[in-house]
């Protein structure tokens, strides 16, 4: 009699557990289940809220060139919420759709997953990793210039250290303009490659100066004691080369991010590859999207509450006051 009762209770227990598990599975996405803990000084990649679409998950028919036996390019893109974020990422993403064997690491300056960005990444159908990588509080509250995109890029580097074994890495801000040829120029980088970036400062360009294939100096509107006065978009790094430098990272020093990163890689100019036809071709521009103020309050009128405008309003980052 007692045994029967115990069996009954056990069965009931199992049933409750199974139903709870099924409900939990249905109610939360995988990403939501990866907890997001934030420690200002040390944040291993596992702790980040992360969305991933692996190469294998991308339909081969859609991207046939992804099967090509060529080095993978890991593009690390910092981003943050603002009215032009989705337009900027759409333009950039639709450029990247043309580039085979590319893994896009989109690292957002936020504590919380931005579902609009993840939706866009899913739609694009290219392999990606989405990371939430907030700027440390002490920099955010500081007045004056901030180390924009540094926590994002360092988290991207950490991800590359953990997941990549070969290929090339490239820092590509979300508001630049990219000719897809820039990716083919950097794809076979052996150590560090450099190339021109258009529309940087009032000099109009930032580039190494090359004569007869030999490095002469740097041309940039802001030298300021930098050993490597380059723009973030003007160099690419071989992944193996990077992996052999466990201390390589980007400093939180506004204006000196590129210089600090390149110095931490510890190389000489003799080792640099000057691609884009000895730096004679411009395939990337520091265009910058003009800042757009959030739209006026008219769309917030409650008479639109049950209409399409309510949905659009949310997408356009308009908060109802």
CA dihedral (163, 164, 169, 174) in degrees, to 10, reads -30
Integer Cα distance of 103 and 49 in angstroms = 18
Of these partners, Mn ion, ligand UGA, none, which one is at the site of residue 79 (CB under 5 to 8 Å by kind)? ligand UGA
Of these partners, ligand UGA, Mn ion, none, which one is at the site of residue 232 (CB under 5 to 8 Å by kind)? ligand UGA
Which residue intervals of the chain are DSSP H helices? Answer: 2-27, 30-33, 85-96, 115-124, 137-140, 150-163, 181-186, 239-243, 257-265, 275-279, 308-315
Q: How far is the CB of 270 from Mn ion (least distance, A)?
A: 31
C-beta closer to ligand UGA: residue 177 or 278:
177
Q: How far is the CB of 149 from ligand UGA (least distance, A)?
A: 3
Q: How far is the CB of 319 from Mn ion (least distance, A)?
A: 25
C-beta closer to ligand UGA: residue 109 or 220:
109
* 175 binding Mn ion? (CB under 5 A): yes
Half-sphere exposure of 102 (CA within 13 A, CB side): 27
Identify which of 132, 136, 135 has the alpha carbon closest to the alpha carbon of residue 108: 132
Provide the token pair at 289.
Answer: 């999207």
Of these partners, ligand UGA, Mn ion, none, which one is at the site of residue 78 (CB under 5 to 8 Å by kind)? ligand UGA
The burial of 21, by beta-carbon neighbours within 10 Å (0-12 exposed, 13-18 middle, 19 or more buried), is given as exposed
Provide the token pair at 220.
Answer: 């940039």
Identify which of 65, 62, 84 has the alpha carbon closest to the alpha carbon of residue 73: 65
- Which range touches Mn ion (CB under 5 A), out of 25-33, 167-175, 194-202, 210-218? 167-175
Q: How far is the CB of 34 from Mn ion (least distance, A)?
A: 29
- Give the binding-site size for Mn ion (rule: CB under 5 A): 3
- Verify whether residue 314 is a known catalytic residue: no
Q: How far is the CB of 288 from Mn ion (least distance, A)?
A: 5
C-beta closer to ligand UGA: residue 66 or 110:
110
C-beta closer to ligand UGA: residue 227 or 288:
288
C-beta closer to Mn ion: residue 210 or 232:
232
User: Which one from 46, 258, 273, 314 is the annotated catalytic residue?
Assistant: 258
- Among residues 173, 220, 257, 259, the one that binds Mn ion under rule CB under 5 A: 173
Which residues of the shown chain bind ligand UGA in the complex (CB under 6 A)? 78-80, 109, 148-149, 152, 173-175, 231-232, 254, 257, 286, 288
* 273 binding Mn ion? (CB under 5 A): no
- Work out whether the CA dihedral 24, 27, 30, 36 comes out positive or negative: negative
Q: How far is the CB of 111 from ligand UGA (least distance, A)?
A: 13
Of these partners, ligand UGA, Mn ion, none, which one is at the site of residue 297 (CB under 5 to 8 Å by kind)? none
Provide the token pair at 211.
Answer: 């004569």
DSSP-assigned states of every residue in 169-217: EEE--TTSEE-THHHHHHTT-SSEEE--EES-TTTTEEEEEEETTEEEE
Of these partners, Mn ion, ligand UGA, none, which one is at the site of residue 129 (CB under 5 to 8 Å by kind)? none
Provide the token pair at 149.
Answer: 């995109």
* 66 binding Mn ion? (CB under 5 A): no
Integer Cα distance of 278 and 273 in angstroms = 8
- Which range touches Mn ion (CB under 5 A), out of 30-38, 46-54, 86-94, 280-288? 280-288
Of these partners, Mn ion, ligand UGA, none, which one is at the site of residue 149 (CB under 5 to 8 Å by kind)? ligand UGA
Question: Residue 53: in which H helix or E strand, if any?
Answer: strand 50-53
Provide the token pair at 25.
Answer: 């599975």
Integer Cα distance of 300 and 316 in angstroms = 12
**Which residues are annotated as catalytic?**
258
* Binding residues vs Mn ion (CB under 5 A): 173, 175, 288
């Amino acid at each position: 009699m007692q045994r029967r009762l115990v069996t009954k209770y056990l069965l009931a227990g199992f049933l409750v557990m199974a139903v709870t598990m099924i409900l939990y599975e249905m109610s939360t996405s995988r990403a939501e289940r990866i907890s997001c803990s934030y420690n200002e000084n040390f944040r291993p990649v596992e702790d980040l809220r992360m969305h991933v679409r692996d190469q294998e998950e991308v339909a081969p028919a859609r991207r046939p060139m992804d099967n090509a036996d060529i080095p993978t390019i890991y593009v690390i893109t910092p981003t943050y919420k603002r009215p032009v974020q989705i337009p900027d990422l759409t333009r950039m993403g639709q450029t990247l759709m043309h580039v085979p064997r590319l893994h896009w690491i989109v690292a957002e300056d936020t504590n919380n997953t931005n579902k609009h960005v993840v939706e866009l990444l899913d739609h694009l159908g290219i392999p990606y990793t989405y990371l939430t990588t907030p700027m440390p509080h002490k920099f955010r509250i500081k007045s004056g210039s901030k180390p924009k995109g540094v926590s994002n890029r360092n988290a991207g580097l950490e991800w590359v250290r953990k997941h990549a074994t070969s290929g090339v890495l490239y820092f590509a801000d979300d508001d630049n303009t990219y000719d897809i040829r820039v990716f083919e120029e950097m794809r076979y980088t052996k150590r560090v490659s450099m190339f021109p970036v258009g529309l940087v400062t009032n000099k109009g360009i930032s580039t190494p100066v090359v004569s007869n294939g030999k490095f002469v100096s740097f041309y940039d509107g802001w030298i300021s004691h930098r050993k490597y006065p380059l723009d973030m978009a003007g160099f690419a790094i071989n992944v193996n080369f990077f992996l052999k430098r466990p201390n390589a990272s980007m400093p939180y020093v506004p204006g000196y991010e590129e210089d600090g990163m390149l110095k931490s890689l510890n190389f000489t100019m003799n080792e640099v590859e000057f691609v884009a036809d000895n730096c004679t071709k411009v395939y990337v521009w520091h265009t910058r999207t003009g800042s757009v103020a959030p739209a006026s309050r008219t769309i917030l009128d409650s008479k639109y509450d049950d209409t399409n405008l309510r949905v659009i309003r949310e997408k356009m980052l308009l908060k109802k006051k």
